Amino acid sequence: MPNEPKTQAKTPRVFSGIQPSGQLTIGNYLGAIRNWVAGQFKSDPIFCVVNQHAITVRIDPNELRRNTLHVAAAYIAAGIDPRHSIVFVQSDVTEHTELTWILNTITYYGELHRMTQFKDKTSKLKQDAISAGLLNYPVLMAADILLYQADQVPVGEDQKQHVELCRDIAIRFNHHFGETFVVPEPVIAKVGKRIMALDDPTRKMAKSSDNPGSYILLTDEPDTIRKKIRKAVTDSGSEVVYDPKHKPALANLLTIYSLFSDEEIPAVQERYVGKGYGAFKTDLAEAVVAGLAPLQARMAELMESAELTSVLTEGADRARVIARKTMDAVNDRVGMNWK
Ligand code: ATP
Ligand code: LTN
């Protein structure tokens, strides 16, 4: 029908979060935060500091408090605008744990036990050292997403499986109790979705690694960044070429270079023909140092100001209104409202 009025597509609700389990790495920035910033004004976004996820492994309470503010500061310093996006801390909105319990009752042990992240984080532990919280971690993540009826969840590749489980849980709930939740989609960037460790290109860069040389923190000093990049493993040979299969370490470094310098990988590669790894690594370090400088300056400013507290307090107030509405509907559907 050519003359029929077009229905305006709804602005997608976006939800994502990072756990304050340590200081953020450039993996968190390139795989997640950078993409949140890029899509921010085309969506209705909510970004959460997921501190309840961070206690699924032992963490010192004071360190957790410090990291919580650090992660929130990184969101804002990277360009999340709290006048548009909701930015808040998970434990400030109690509906997250309330919904988790209900979703736990329709999630199977087998599903949780099969999660790659669970297997990775527990492979070296004895059964009695694995908390039930670590197993149930993806259920809390599903509650985060479903409470806000999110359409899209921008994450790094490692979180895709968790978002898929969240979809399964939403579909199952809707099937048993009637349409209640939006079924969300994972959104994963083409480049930067999996930044690898500097000491081992077969493992993802992670803030919880015990080798600080494996990651670059957003707060690392310029000289630390230069040293870490100088020491980063490379592949055999000496040519700077993008070949993930045969030269995974170099492919990772080229990806980082490309994202920090906003240049396509082939253009970067072209510049280093016949120059070898040394020159490339020196320039890469400078690109990372320059790329992080404004972010670091803004983070330091935010950590000293009261601005952060007011952003997070107001964010939680805005989030709570949305979360409560969903929670009331859920309680109604499952028969918790007995009066
Ligand atoms: P931890 O080491 O505590 O498990 P992490 O550094 O792996 O943490 P998360 O808090 O689990 O980080 O992840 C936050 C977000 O950053 C997620 O969207 C995740 O997919 C993304 N992310 C984490 N590491 C990388 C990476 N190396 N490359 C791309 N994206 C990443
Ligand atoms: N499990 C995620 C962090 C996380 C998250 C979320 C991401 C917790 N809740 C909701 C997106 C949406 C991780 O990156 N480790």
Superfamily (CATH H level) for 13-188+306-334: HUPs (3.40.50.620)
CA of 236 to the centre of ligand 1 (A): 28
Domain locations in the chain as residue ranges:
13-188+306-334, 212-301
**At residue 11, what is the residue type?**
T
**Cβ–ligand 1 contact at 34 (below 6 Å):** no
**Residue owning the nearest CA to atom 13 of ligand 2:** 18
Ligand approaching nearest to the C-alpha of 152: 2
Per-residue confidence (pLDDT) for residue 266, from 0 to 100 = 94
- State the catalytic residue, choosing from 204, 228, 247, 281: 204
CA of 251 to the centre of ligand 2 (A): 26
Per-residue confidence (pLDDT) for residue 6, from 0 to 100 = 59
Please confirm, yes or no, whether 275 is among the known catalytic residues.
no
Please confirm, yes or no, whether 207 is among the known catalytic residues.
yes
Per-residue confidence (pLDDT) for residue 4, from 0 to 100 = 58
Q: What is the pLDDT of residues 201-252, one digit of tens each?
A: 999 999 989 999 999 999 999 999 999 999 999 988 888 999 999 999 999 9
Q: Please give the average pLDDT of every successive group of 10 residues along the chain, which has 339 residues.
A: 63 97 96 96 97 96 97 98 98 98 98 96 91 97 98 96 98 98 96 95 93 97 98 91 94 96 93 91 97 97 94 98 98 94
Ligand 1 atom at minimal distance to the Cα of residue 54: 3
Query: Which tokens is 45 given?
Result: 């976004």
Per-residue confidence (pLDDT) for residue 7, from 0 to 100 = 66
pTM comes to 0.95
Q: What is the pLDDT of residues 172-200, one digit of tens each?
A: 999 999 999 999 999 999 989 999 999 99
**Residue owning the nearest CA to atom 12 of ligand 2:** 16
Ligand approaching nearest to the C-alpha of 59: 1
CATH architecture of 212-301: Orthogonal Bundle (1.10)
Ligand 2 atom at minimal distance to the Cα of residue 154: 11
**Cβ–ligand 1 contact at 201 (below 6 Å):** no
CA of 41 to the centre of ligand 1 (A): 23
Per-residue confidence (pLDDT) for residue 118, from 0 to 100 = 96
CA of 256 to the centre of ligand 2 (A): 22
